Amino acid sequence: MSNRVFVTGLGAITPVGLNIVDTWESLISGKSGIGKITSFDAENYKTQIAAEITDFEPADYIEKKQIRRLDRFVQLSIGAALQAVDHSKLEINQSNSARIGVMIASGIGGIITISNQLEVLAEKGPNRVSPFFVPMMLPDMASGQVSMTIGARGPSIATVSACASGADSIGAAFNQLQADDLDIIIAGGTEASICPIGIAGFNACHALSTNNENPEQASRPFDAERDGFVCGEGSGVLVLETLKSMEKRSVEPIAELVGYGASADAHHVTQPAPGGEGGARAMKSALKRANIVPDEIDYINAHGTSTPLNDKYETLAMKAVFEEHAYKVPISSTKSMTGHLLGASGALEAVVSVLAIKNNIVPPTINLQNADPECDLNYTPNKAKETDVNSVISNSFGFGGHNSSLVFKGVDR
């Protein structure tokens, strides 16, 4: 019999809060974290807005001499991971460290470092490129640095599957824990790509909103006037643990991770497969593994990027999976407030899903003002809803046709 897997700790550093308490309060209040870009001069860019974290202090988590050797995506992951470890009351020592793994994903990695060091190369020549350039920009360095920071000596792995990366890292952790390969895994995602080449690149493929005059209203998933996603940054981390380990430590679980499903569209580099059939297969797989029928789901945390095709096809995918229940179950996209955290989005939204179960509240989709006849489900418009939330499915779909779904349940031991 496979192991049961529980969530015993959460951490988050986001555009709407520097911890899970502030992030959750902002989300259920409908607070937007989107504004004008401040980290560089974006005046000449088509998109001049993003969901930045403006008050994060790396020195709260990292020694000052180490900070300059770490890209921002790694700094954010260390902060969120330390929060999660503390939340779970986990003490890592020589006796248990080899059975504790780290799986923190990033879809892009150190693109801020790449952007900065390309300027150094162009202006000052190759001999002035930082000796820390390579270890700062590698996507696996969030997992690597977190494992070094907390002393976890189990596998340290980074999944890279675009906007499904964070969800896939949690799914990979789920697989290893169910197989009894490890006792505990610190899993999640992190991203920090708000920089000149990052924004210019997404503009070049026409992915971003250009609603520069109304930043807080720019991310509008499922709304008829949606015009693209808004880049966000941040990190979400969960401590996942087997039942045996949790009972040995005498800690209480927050929720249970019961399902993970993944699929590939095999269709197009950026566009979802017609009808959302790839996303539908991921959801069906996750529900089957969780041994949950669709009508038992109390909340869907949608991928909901605010792009025309994604929201349309995700709606079709939810209808294909949930049929009549699709019109009844509360759905929301918290990207309406946080922006799209890319490789960290699935991890943050897993944290949100667990908090929805804990608090019996569905956070809203803000900025949903104009009905789209092709997006006609219950997206919890503009105001949070108090309701019984025992089972949640969270979707993450990425460029390249990556689809991942996670299922969480309330604790029933």
Kindly list the catalytic residues: 163, 303, 340
What is 345-390 written as a DSSP string? HHHHHHHHHHHHHHHTEEPPBTT--S-BTTB-S---BSS-EE----
| Residue 411 neighbours by CB under 8 Å, 6+ apart | 6, 252, 253, 254, 255, 256
* Tokens at 113, concatenated: 């470092």
Asked if 71 and 110 count as a contact pair (C-beta separation under 8 A), the reply is yes
Given CA atoms 69, 237, 175, 406 in this order, what sign does their dihedral have?
negative
Which DSSP category does 17 fall into?
A: B
Distance separating alpha carbons of residues 307 and 295, to the nearest angstrom = 27
3-state SS assignment for residue 113: helix
* Tokens at 103, concatenated: 């799986």
Asked if 3 and 244 count as a contact pair (C-beta separation under 8 A), the reply is yes
Smallest CA-to-CA distance from 48 within 200, 163, 204, 190 is with 200
CA 197 centroid distance within chain: 22
